[in-house]
Structure 1
């Protein structure tokens, strides 16, 4: 598996991947995303800025994620532990439905942590809809700590913020 930055010529493939993931999430009663989010124009910008990363397996996209230092205003009230270092924020993590159930999300998180350490980040922050049990279990199982519950204005269900401090190498 290769962990690479998405290329402009992969934009349509990435957009289609997110559409398929949203359909599957909705079928499983996980309404974290919708047909309005993530928007194709946002995914295109993520790729253009170099923030979109892909986990590829034999030329197929197994997973996608956006990594940067941007965060929503709701993060301001979270009691983060790492307040002095640089933190990387994980956005829009998704696993291709064809690859689900194979441990891909765990592999992707390992790649994200390795990249974050290489780039000098001291922690990683992310969030997920609390009703997304698989994501909640994943993050806790790989050492992410719950930092606080919050609501996005567009959702009536709560989200959980997670953080993992990184060991400096």
Structure 2
């Protein structure tokens, strides 16, 4: 297993995994991911903020990070943190605790970049995801109604989000 930055050559696979994740979300939840802009992923790749887990030469999982997320985290955005977004797992690798591997990687990445927190959010009040992320070590900080979603992906429009944080 290797964790490394995604490259432009991975874009089609990233979008395939997003589609699989979105199709799954549609069967379970009212809110699901929109179709993301290709330019969003291209920018993340260019800025080394799009990541992947590779197992036996295959992309097993992808996610993106940022060091700032003010529209979701508001005043807490001033804290030194990394923010994880859009974890999508290849169905061939489900059940291998890949989110836990992302958490362990994130701890080291956060420390190397002088950050004190790892944060993520999910749209809505989803007891299953709340339980899952707390099992992965995150503290559930509660629900937050977003005030300004201009420029955010469409699933954040008029949304309430569940906030999660892990100290490093």
Q: TM-score range by the shorter chain?
A: 0.7 to 0.9
In the alignment, the residues of structure 2 paired with residue 30 and residue 110 of structure 1 have an alpha-carbon distance, to the nearest angstrom, of 30
| Cα displacement string for residues 30-64 of structure 1 (whole angstroms, at most 9, x for unaligned residues) | 52312x3x332212221121100101111111111
Q: Which has the higher helix share?
A: 2
Change (3 A) 1:113 1:134: farther
Match of 2:164 in 1: 162
Secondary structure at the aligned position of 1:20 is classed as: helix
User: Is structure 2 residue 87 aligned with structure 1 residue 93?
Assistant: yes
* Conserved? CA contact 2:125–2:143, under 8 Å: no
TM-superposed CA distance for 1:156, in Å, is 5.5
Match of 1:45 in 2: 43
Match of 2:9 in 1: 9
* Conserved? CA contact 1:150–1:158, under 8 Å: yes
* Structure-1-length-normalised TM-score: 0.81
Structure 1: runs of 5 or more not aligned? none
CA RMSD of aligned residues (A): 2.3
After TM superposition, the structure 1 = structure 2 runs for residues 49-60 of structure 1, keeping only pairs within 5 Å, are 49-60=47-58
TM-superposed CA distance for 1:92, in Å, is 1.2
Match of 2:122 in 1: 128
Change (3 A) 1:43 1:134: farther
TM-superposed CA distance for 1:75, in Å, is 1.4
Structure 2: runs of 5 or more not aligned? 150-155
Work out the number of aligned pairs and report it: 160
